[in-house]
Structure 1
């Protein structure tokens, strides 16, 4: 029985989501809980898993379109219903009866039967096919999209392709996506080379029907159509004579042409002819062959992190490599690099770092689409500055005692709580305690209603730097946690935010935000307060420097101390400078007192 895939509720205040990418195309099989599509909201980008196993028979909401929560996104049919479900949604009833009679016609004659048999597994592409092949056209990838640019051909002239197997990658001003093959066969001609633009409806390539299927194969599944192809041998000629049009892919194309004849003999015996995809996945700067299909998003992440996809074990269905696999491989690579550094004397070769910094970024001189999350951040930051009268007050804090406590307790703390003990949990705990004493800093103001709201709890937002932009997961009820609890929550939220495993509700509802700008070496900055919050605390880098201190025995002396700047940005319409100063002094006294022995078990 067909199962409807609906837009889930991705947070309390989320009412709609935008489909950014379909990970499966119509006609492809999907397993239970296998990622089916990617959805973007104002709060989070996430993958939507399939609620059932079967065949994706119909996509209702196209990429880059927005749907309300609860609305239908797609329909999944059972394995036995896949063919019928597809025809019902994609082809008219008269077309259903024609393929049923074609096998018998194929048994009686020897003329057009192979072409008719090839049309069966791809009924929706049949109108565009001819005696020479089926045209692959540029689809409409959005209401206002009139053209697209071919960024990469995943198949070259002479290579075989299955129904709905990714054929090429196309980029528009709204979305980057893969175009699946409408039929099974051989790529006879590529009409639009890479980096060239074509209008919607224009022919991109021609898929030959000669190597399609024998009459008896369409009934079980379209994928079987590539097995028997003895009658298709007269048509390899266009494959061999075609030029190699794809820039940067001349060598793979030449190999495909030279191997076209022996490949034909193997097609009838083994459907593993699509083993050609590893050759295409090896093209993008990977040292080895990548097993299976890899999405452009994963390839991009691998390139940014320097991860060799051939060495990654995929945890997705069928061994598919997912984003999490790449990120975990990148973390392991960083850990492996960090381990030998202290032991190897050749650490003196560290001057190699300046060479890496000198390498120019590949993005120089380029233009890319503004990600949805970045656009949301930009709008909110601009809105916040327009709505508030923001002011920043900075204070200097001596954290030498905390630095000594960390040195004493960090190993035992990590064994007990499973996370490293950094300065950030100390700052967070001191800030939460100060918010309880000075709730005006934790409050919000509605100028139109003439009200000030004091929350009954301290919901602490922690700014996390991710590859998609700055995200702020929230420690709800932070005032109820001790130092160890806050440290574990910070580590957990930061990790799941960076790996895109955070839920929308976990990045909503903050009443006060803490941002650790010192993690990148900054002494301090002037944070922008996110509305409707009224204040935000920025912690700078902890550095050692000479400071004048008052020694009980020696009086004023100069000593080396661990110092940090704390910068509080706040809405001056609600919070006065004196309120901000009192709050910062409370944080300062708590940190400089260093009375955390009980929290650390010392």
Structure 2
């Protein structure tokens, strides 16, 4: 079979390079067109890179953690058929030929049991994530009937097929399923070397030695979820992330964090493998603190070994965030207006609506109410929903209400955008916000879903705090920060408060009331302080009187 080299494609608008975070295949694995072969982190998002060929992985040219310019060769394949490189108009067959290279299979499986059957209609239309789901459920993607445009297969189609055929539990478990063909095994269950360099070998597997030296039973999973930073730590410590024990999960898949990796590595350092029954373990070298004989009982004798500074790469999403913040702060003169809304009526309204939301399987937070209140404010004060185009010397007043929601993730702050907020109901907004926030934290958000915002909300109150000075999401002209909703002392008319007094005493009293601190930052070139205060007043009026939100 001919060998084809595959270059890193342009995985995002304006992206010139990316960090190859994880290889999803190894030399010898059979892949099909559109199957993800690597995860690449750019300055915009973490994306999967799909194969353009049906064939067998020949060689990997890039180490995990390396920065790769767009256009550089990252992998090569032994391609099925005539090896013609597919084009945008190519509609050829997706059939897999397993007659070549069967003896080179990394897992030693029978070629006939590995072959994916030929599709009856030629080409199978399914995105990489759907193909991955099919492999996990043991479903033959070629046998699934797509419900999308042009027969495109969705997650729901795969799950429905798995439920109807009873194949969901047969493929991954390894049980024999005589009712249908076996899915193609891409070799992820016996991951060895991530990269086979020129002149090197893909079979140099030292994981067994590492596992024996840890004194902790390796997990030996096939799939493990982890952030790029965690995977980097694992590489530096020589730990196979699939062996790190964990009880944490993300959407049903095992999830490992940096602390678990370090704990597993430390367990390996502490355990000293015995070479013979009579050979004593070597004495540890004395540290400066222990050489003097006494550490004073402080328990910090070895603290000096942990005081070396740690360097973390400044790139990817973190670098993008930094550049965006720098551009915003040094371009737009920021002014922050602070105020506090009394939201006891809002708290009561949410409590009344929660049962209805739960009946629809929707988690109802305060965010949709705040979004509706902001839309009311933007309609009355359009300069906060604008963009200053300095080169054209004009201010563009936006007529769409697309609100960005800042989400803290392991990779940094991401801002997915909820579009058309003025046209959506409270429950619909709640569902969309929850979905976008979840996918942002799991690095599954698409770059297009973080574009087109006209105003941004940041909820620092979710992790504590009252007020802040949020930085505008340039080129927008305003951002609203939300503090924590807590009971705080508020002055109220005694006549409006049931304070236990029996007489009709006039005057005021101080009572605990749920309040929401607001921090509104504006671009002072576009928005005056008085306009900012009026906008805040409008937002607070709608939060304090939730029935007004029905009009927005």
Could you state the TM-score of these two structures normalised by the residue count of structure 2? 0.60
Count of aligned pairs between the two proteins: 383
Q: Tell me if 1:183 matches 2:201.
A: yes
1:363: Cα distance to partner?
A: 9.1
Secondary structure of the residue that 1:43 maps to in structure 2? coil
Q: In 2, distance between residues paired with 1:61 and 1:550?
A: 70
Q: 1:512 aligns with which of 437, 447, 455?
A: 455
Which residue of 1 is the match for residue 48 of structure 2? 47
Check conservation: 2:27, 2:60, Cα contact below 8 A. Answer: no
Tell me if 1:20 matches 2:3.
no
Contact residue 226 and residue 255 of structure 2 kept, 8 A: no
Contact map agreement 1:166 1:181 (CA 8 A) in 2 = no
The reply on whether 1:325 has 2:253 as its aligned counterpart is: yes
Task: Label 1:363 to 1:402 Cα distance change in 2 as closer, same or farther (>3 A).
Answer: farther
Cα 1:518–1:307, aligned 2, differ >3 Å: closer, same or farther? farther
Question: Which structure is higher in RCO with an 8 Å CA cutoff and minimum separation 6?
Answer: 2
Tell me the distance in 1 between the aligned counterparts of 2:202 and 2:4: 27
Match of 2:219 in 1: 289
The CA deviation string for residues 294-325 of structure 1, in whole angstroms up to 9 with x for no partner, is 69868936999x998556799xxxxxxx9982
> Is the CA contact 2:369–2:549 (under 8 Å) kept in the aligned structure 1?
no
2:223 and 2:254 in contact (8 A); partners too: no
Unaligned stretches of 5+ in structure 2? 86-189, 235-240, 259-302, 497-505
SS at match of 2:351: helix
Is 1:577 matched with 2:505? no
Change (3 A) 1:483 1:180: farther
Seen in structure 2, the aligned counterparts of structure 1 residues 461 and 329 have a Cα distance that, compared at 3 Å, is: same
Seen in structure 2, the aligned counterparts of structure 1 residues 363 and 4 have a Cα distance that, compared at 3 Å, is: farther
Structure 1 residues 295 and 395, CA, compared in 2 at 3 Å: closer, same or farther?
A: closer
Q: What is the rounded CA distance, in whole Å, between the counterparts of 1:532 and 1:294 in structure 2?
A: 38
Determine if contact 1:14/1:41 at 8 Å carries over to the other structure: no
Residues 565 and 400 of structure 1: is their aligned pair in 2 closer, same or farther, counting only changes over 3 Å? Answer: same
> Counterparts of 1:471 and 1:523 in 2: how far apart (Å)?
21
CA contact (8 A) 2:402 2:452 kept: yes
- Give the whole-Å Cα distance in 1 for the aligned partners of 2:459 and 2:347: 17
Q: 1:587 aligns with which of 539, 544, 548?
A: 539
Question: What is the CA distance between 1:450 and its match in structure 2?
Answer: 0.5
**Counterpart residue number, 1:469:** 412
Identify if the C-alpha distance between structure 1 residues 510 and 299 changes in structure 2 by more than 3 Å, giving closer, same or farther: closer
Q: Which residue among 417, 439, 451 is the counterpart of 2:382?
A: 439
Which of the pair is proportionally richer in helix? 1
Residues 22, 38 of structure 1: 8 Å contact kept: yes
Q: Report the TM-score, using the length of structure 1 for normalisation.
A: 0.55
1:384 matched to 2:328? yes
Distance 1:572 1:324, change over 3 A: farther
The one of 493, 518, 531 aligned to 1:566? 518
Q: CA deviation at 1:539?
A: 0.4
2:70 is aligned to: 67
**1:542-577 deviations in Å (ceiling 9; x for gaps):** 110221013545542222100111111010011000
- Deviation string, structure 1 residues 22-69 (Cα, Å, up to 9, x no partner): 61577332433543122233321222133444223356788412216x
Equivalences for residues 204-243 of structure 1 within 5 A: none
1:542·1:563 contact (CA, 8 Å) conserved in 2?
Answer: yes
Contact 1:518 1:540 in 2 (8 A): yes
SS at match of 1:560: strand
Q: Quote the residue 1:76 is aligned against.
A: 77
Structure 1 match to 2:133: none
Equivalent pair of 1:307/1:329 in contact (CA under 8 Å): no
Contact 2:402–2:453, Cα closer than 8 Å, also in 1: yes
SS of the aligned residue for 2:476 comes to: coil
The answer on whether the counterparts of 1:460 and 1:478 sit within 8 Å (CA) in structure 2 is yes
Out of 184, 209, 230, the residue aligned to residue 300 of structure 1 is 230
| Corresponding residue SS for 1:567 | strand
Name 1:405's counterpart in structure 2: 349
Q: Which residue does the alignment assign to 1:31?
A: 31
Give how far 1:380 is off.
1.4
Contact 1:7–1:67, Cα closer than 8 Å, also in 2: yes
2:89 matched residue in structure 1: none
CA 1:503–1:458: 2 relative to 1, 3 Å: same
> In structure 2, how many angstroms separate the alpha carbons of the residues matched to 1:65 and 1:303?
20
Structure 1 vs Structure 2 CA RMSD = 4.2
**Structure 1 residue runs without a partner (length 5+):** 86-163, 169-176, 188-273, 315-321, 331-358
Distance 1:529 1:184, change over 3 A: closer
Q: Pick closer, same or farther for the CA change 1:294–1:166 going to 2, 3 Å.
A: farther
How far does the alpha carbon of each residue in 1:85-141 deviate from its partner, in whole angstroms, 9 at most, with x for none?
Answer: 9xxxxxxxxxxxxxxxxxxxxxxxxxxxxxxxxxxxxxxxxxxxxxxxxxxxxxxxx
Match of 2:148 in 1: none
- 1:546 aligns to 2:489 (yes or no): yes
Question: Which region of structure 1 is more displaced relative to structure 2, 519-528 or 282-291?
Answer: 282-291
Match of 1:492 in 2: 435
- Asked if 2 retains the 8 angstrom alpha-carbon contact of 1:19 and 1:61, the reply is no
Equivalents in 2 of 1:3, 1:180: separation in Å?
15
Tell me, what secondary structure is at the counterpart of 2:67? coil
- Partner of 1:65: helix, strand, or coil? strand
Q: Which whole-Å CA distance do the structure 1 matches of 2:475 and 2:379 have between them?
A: 19
